[in-house]
Amino acid sequence: MSDSDNVLKKVELDKCRKELALLQSRFKVGEIGSDVFDSESKILLNRISLLEKEVNKIPLSVSDRLKKHRALIVIVAAAVLGLLLCAAVILLVPRQGTGIGNIAPDFVMQLADDNTTALSSFRDKNVVLVFWDRDFWDDHFFSVNGVTRKLYTPDKLNELLKKYPAGDLAVIAIASGADSGEIDDLVKEYDIAFPVISDTSGKLRSSYNISYEPTSIFLDKKGIIRARVEGPITSISDYEQIIHAAGSGDTVNAPQTPIINVLVQSNNEKSAMVTWGTAVPTTTQVDIDGKNIQTVITPAPVTLHSLSINDLSPNTPYQIRILYNVNYINVSEHSYSALADTIVSKRYLATTSGTDSSYPEISGAGTSSITDSSILVTWKTDEPSSGEVDFGIGNDILGTASQGNSLSIWHTVKLDGLIPDTEYRLKLRSKDTGGKESTQELPPVKTLSIIETAPLVGKRAPDFTLKSIDGIEYSVSQFLGRKVMLNFWLDGCLACELEMPLIQTAFDKYGRDQLAVLAVNVRGDPDKVKYYVANERLSFPVLIDSEGNVDAMYKSPAFPTTFMIDSTGVIREIKSERFQTLSEIDDALAKLDCCK
């Protein structure tokens, strides 16, 4: 059927409908009788029925189809719009949770005047939630050499509150494990001007997913979490910067968690093993149940730590606390230099009722940091074990090197005093607490030819020991196995200071497992250096060469000068001017890959 025929059919159908309507009107007013109406209406109805069938076969135009399904389209559009609005609400409206961008979980607290209020009542204020452990106020837990050391610093928080107009800031402290009596004593002793909430059961601590104490959580005026800082905040200005960033919705770069990869596992019914890592080489302390029944301090700053715990009771739960000090712990005096900077991580352990019948499984064994006189051997076991390496030439065993008496799942043994340019056979041995020993032989390893020590390209980097601004001792030799950027600089040197952000970016890019940065400040004012490092947020070790002795050893031609040292401790490039771009540092580091 042509388009013109379609049009005629529709016109005729419309005409028949009008004639039927007119016929009905004439019948109603009495112009025609019933006989005429019945006869003519029957004819029109038959014609209309026939035309409707034919017209219905004609494809509808787009406009006609839209008109026909207008109601359905409106319903579908409304449903889609509703779904989009729901999705927008889900995606854009914050939900309750403990992560950044979530609404902080609400809770009810009792104030000093015995009234109660909820966290949500502090909306329209910036809020700082501070979680502190009860034992930070305990006279026994931190009584060292008769001197009581308390970690809680309410004076600092009182001072912080005074710096803000009334109603702009709220500080709320949550005391994990503390009862109301201890809270009352604390408030009176320090004249605390903010609420301190008792969390005897640890329910609040758990609801906020607190793994470290102290932890500070910053909320904006809508009650949304904008920052979490695990560990102490060292100054009022640091608090203010974070509060300003949180209130403005800016990104807050919280420091890296200092204690990482904590693993607590039971060996058998009477012993267990704790292993953990730290973000920087440091000493740490482990306590059990906070009662000092067994305390071990690592003998030197390291990043991988382990402790074998013995003489435990079968089927007994224990609480393990790992303490990390931001500043150096004086091991020889068994005292603490700055407990106000201490962080505690809690983990739990339950001993078993059975005994161990399996042998240690050795994996990931290998060698690295090979020099003309030393080899570093590393491996892992699936259970805490001892670590020893038998080494020899040919079929002759010359000696055994050990990681010490401690048991661990990570094993590092350094072989020293070896003969240059000589091939050695190595055999690993690991024994668990039950006395079961596993062994593994490694392929022969050859030491390097003897290399002279001198501050020159192709020579071994002279070793030294300097303390960082945090009081931790560092040396070049401890970073064998990693690329090292040894940078000499002066405070007040514009070129030096322009270079530092690039070095920090490279350090962040490659990670401390691949790259070590030692920035040696020569004959500078330690206080000025500390201020500069804090202001620039430098996270690599900055060492103090107060007398210029190390600078004299390396004979730096200018400032800044950077010695690029490969993983074997050999200097491969000396950069006697500042790095201009990150790609320059990338290229210099890439050249060290040839010399592993």
Q: What does the pLDDT look like over 357-416, one tens digit per residue?
A: 678 889 889 988 788 888 989 898 888 888 999 999 998 899 999 987 777 788 889 898
Q: How many domains are there within the chain?
A: 5
* Backbone φ, ψ for residue 335 (5° rounding): -130, 175
Last residue of a domain, one of 248, 269, 294: 248
Q: Does residue 576 fall inside a structural domain?
A: yes
398 and 502 in a single domain? The answer is no
User: How far is Cα 402 from Cα 308, in angstroms, rounded to an integer?
Assistant: 16
Q: Does residue 254 fall inside a structural domain?
A: no
Measured between alpha carbons, how far is residue 432 from residues 353, 429, 481 in Å?
A: 18, 10, 28
* 198-248: pLDDT as tens digits: 887 778 888 888 877 778 999 999 999 998 887 777 678 888 888 988 888
Of the ranges 234-238, 252-256, 261-265, 546-550, which one carries the lowest mean pLDDT score? 252-256
What pLDDT does residue 112 have? 65
Q: Does residue 329 fall inside a structural domain?
A: yes
Last residue of a domain, one of 227, 248, 269: 248
401 and 328 in a single domain? The answer is no
What pLDDT does residue 329 have? 36
Average pLDDT (304-318) is 74
366 and 336 in a single domain? The answer is no
Q: Does residue 454 fall inside a structural domain?
A: no
314 and 212 in a single domain? The answer is no
Given a contact cutoff of 8 angstroms between Cβ atoms, the answer to whether 488 and 554 are in contact is yes
215 and 114 in a single domain? The answer is yes
User: Residue 150 is part of a domain; what is its CATH number?
Assistant: 3.40.30.10
What pLDDT does residue 300 have? 54
Pick from 270, 431, 272, 436: which is nearest to 354 by CA?
270
Output 375 or 269, whichever has higher pLDDT: 375
216 and 266 in a single domain? The answer is no
pTM: 0.47
* 147-180: pLDDT as tens digits: 444 555 677 888 888 889 888 999 998 887 677 7
316 and 206 in a single domain? The answer is no
234 and 209 in a single domain? The answer is yes
Q: Position 35: which residue type?
A: D
118 and 244 in a single domain? The answer is yes
Last residue of a domain, one of 202, 228, 248: 248
Share of the chain above pLDDT 90, in %: 27
User: Residue 286 is part of a domain; what is its CATH number?
Assistant: 2.60.40.10
Residue range of the domain that includes 29: 3-59
481 and 439 in a single domain? The answer is no
Query: What is the average pLDDT score of the chain?
Result: 78
Question: Which stretch of DSSP H or E encloses residue 345?
Answer: strand 342-350
Share of the chain above pLDDT 70, in %: 75
Alpha-helical runs (H) found in 2-69:
3-29, 34-56, 62-68
Q: Does residue 439 fall inside a structural domain?
A: yes
Q: Does residue 74 fall inside a structural domain?
A: no
Average pLDDT (101-114) is 81
Pick from 272, 440, 415, 305: which is nearest to 362 by CA?
440
368 and 326 in a single domain? The answer is no
Identity of the highest mean pLDDT range in 159-168, 296-305, 408-417, 515-524: 515-524
Q: Does residue 223 fall inside a structural domain?
A: yes
119 and 202 in a single domain? The answer is yes
What pLDDT does residue 328 have? 40
3-state SS, residue 146: coil
Sign of CA dihedral 119, 120, 122, 126: positive
Q: Does residue 134 fall inside a structural domain?
A: yes
